[in-house]
Amino acid sequence: MKPIPIGEDNFRRLIENNDYYVDKTKVIEEILYNNNLVVLFPRPRRFGKTLLLSMLDSFFNIDKKEKELFKGLYIEKSEYMKECSKYPVIHVDFKELKRNTYEEVLNQFKIMMSKLFTEKEYVKEVLNEAENRKFELIKNEQATKDDYTQAINLLSLWLFRYHKEKVIILIDEYDAPITNSYVNHIYEEVMSLMRGVFSSSLKGNENLKMGILTGITRVSKESIFSGFNNPLIFDIMSEQYNEYFGFTEDETKELLNYYGLELTQNIKEYYNGYNFGGTAIYNPWSILNYALHKKVIPYWFNTSDNALIKQILKETSEENKIEIEKLILGESISFTYDNMITFQDLQNNINNKHVIFNLLLASGYLTYDKSINDELTDKSINYFKIPNKEVKEEFIKIITETINKEDLEKQVHFLKFFLNNEKEKIEKYINAQLLSMSYHDAKEMFYHGYALGLFTGFINKNFIVKSNREAGIGRYDLLIERIDRSIGMIIEIKIASTLEEMEELAIKALNQMKEKEYYQELKLDQVKNILEYAIVFCEKTCIVRN
């Protein structure tokens, strides 16, 4: 039985070790057929980006002569196999540039270029005296900053001169130093360096056959890509190339079958749920770990470098936190999809919903769910959701880590108020929060979302929270059930236009819960202690009745 390649992202080692490999070599055929000059593939972490670039390096690299690695794979029988081992390749991984200070980033880039020039030292055969001096300065980490921003461009010129073939440039995790620089408050300095590197390497480079970049985010045109023609982007919403990152359902079934496992509903709920351009995709890191350990537990979050996500969730507005809490409770939310994330916007406004949720989408915390046509505008509205249980658990973990001790204690007390039927204390707690929040002209959606947010804190305390589902002969607003089924609560939310009608609506809500028998779901679960609460809002005031 073939070894399971956990963490192996080097294609040559994977094939030589006879590890299990999900054949993605058809992407070579598609890349060559489309013949695009510069292509960017943004995908979440641990979805096979590094392995794919390593495979492209093994296929194209004229220095490696690794044609034998592709025996038995799809590309071997393709007409494009003649392109194997034909081109000089410059392959760099910008994950190495994640450093805490600008000086450390620049020094690491010098080290990276030194290694690259040492690897390609044979080109000195075609250099003149001045070029040879420049080569040695860059290799020995003694060149100027400008020389280093031009280093990839210079090397591509010299490789073309030596091999008489244009150069393929592969850049893995191109956005890693940029994201890291934002977290470490060195954004402008690092952006200046990266802009120079990308501009010189990929704009007007007459020696470029193609450039292929991978990353997580698509940094905006007015920042890193302003120095050269924007690349073609094939991201998580694109239909093209959608099956080459992550595992399709058929690939997942075949892999699990090989290791004597089945693709059960539980596996699907934990590791599936991603929608890449209309194709259902499984998290490959999680599937491989499940095949090895045979336990259905979260694996993806253990690989996480989520400092930026934590910062956003901690600092963003209450309104955005309510949207996040709705997601945790299984709902979809709508926002305008945009594959051009601007860190400038994020830097200027941590509450920018548009930027925040597009970043969560690009990072793999959300996925496309559905589109609904708006009858008023006749436009299609996109809805997005948390893809699966594994990601949901990471969301909860991050949110728990971002809640300070005082807030956590308040949540615990709030839970106890409900369990002890202390409606006066519940009222006081909610009213205190409402005073500091905007209620958006008392729209019902705001209050419903706010109520969802109030009870998200119960999730980590052995409770199941459900929202807006059918029960009895109606549809309840909120149902909260302890996992051990010792107690359950039904909550009906009403919005009053005036303070005078709040009591009347509370009575109506309590009667509605009984008449429509919302308690039936809890009775089916054999919950004996059932509490019913009516919460009525009017602008920044609420009352609680039972």
pLDDT digits (tens, 9 = 90+) for 468-478: 777 777 788 88
Q: pLDDT for 106-115, tens place per residue?
A: 999 999 999 9
**Residue 65: is it exposed, middle or buried by C-beta count within 10 angstroms (0-12/13-18/19+)?**
exposed
Burial class (CB in 10 A: 0-12, 13-18, 19+), 319: middle
Report whether pLDDT(84) > 90.
Answer: yes
Q: How far is CA 101 from the centre of its chain?
A: 25
Does residue 109 sit in helix, strand or coil?
A: helix
Helix and strand numbers, DSSP H then E, in the chain? 22, 18
Residue 243: name the closest of 234, 254, 256 by CA. Answer: 234
Report helix, strand or coil for 494.
strand
Task: With H, G, I as helix, E, B as strand and everything else as coil, classify residue 525.
Answer: coil
The more confidently predicted of residues 407 and 16 is 16
Greater model confidence, 21 or 341: 21
Residues 538-544 have a mean pLDDT of 88
User: Would the CA dihedral through 137, 142, 146, 151 be positive or negative?
Assistant: positive
Q: What is the pLDDT of residues 24-39, one digit of tens each?
A: 999 999 999 999 999 9
CATH 3.40.50 domain span(s) along the chain: 11-233
Rounded to whole angstroms, how far apart are CA atoms 8 and 299?
A: 16
DSSP strand pairing (247-248 vs 478-482): unpaired
In tens, the pLDDT along 205-216 reads 899 999 999 998
- pLDDT higher than threshold 90 for residue 165: yes
Quick: pLDDT tens for 336-349: 888 776 555 566 56
Mean pLDDT of the chain: 86
Q: Which range is most confident: 217-221, 325-329, 354-358?
A: 354-358
Q: Which residues of 528-537 are buried (b: 16+ CB within 10 A; e: fewer)?
A: eeebbbbbbb
Residue 487, φ and ψ in degrees, nearest 5:
-155, 150
C-alpha 262, offset from chain centre: 27
Whole-angstrom distance, CA of residue 485 vs CA of residue 525 = 7
Measured in residues, the chain has a length of 546
Percentage of the chain modeled with pLDDT above 70 = 86
**Which residue carries 């305008």 as its tokens?**
336
Which pLDDT band, with edges at 50, 70 and 90, does 122 fall under?
A: very high
CATH number of 11-233: 3.40.50
- 223 has pLDDT over 80: no
At residue 348, the pLDDT reads 59
pLDDT tens, position by position, 372-422? 887 666 788 899 999 999 998 887 777 666 655 556 566 677 778 888 888
Which of 9-23, 223-237, 410-424, 466-480 is predicted least confidently? 223-237
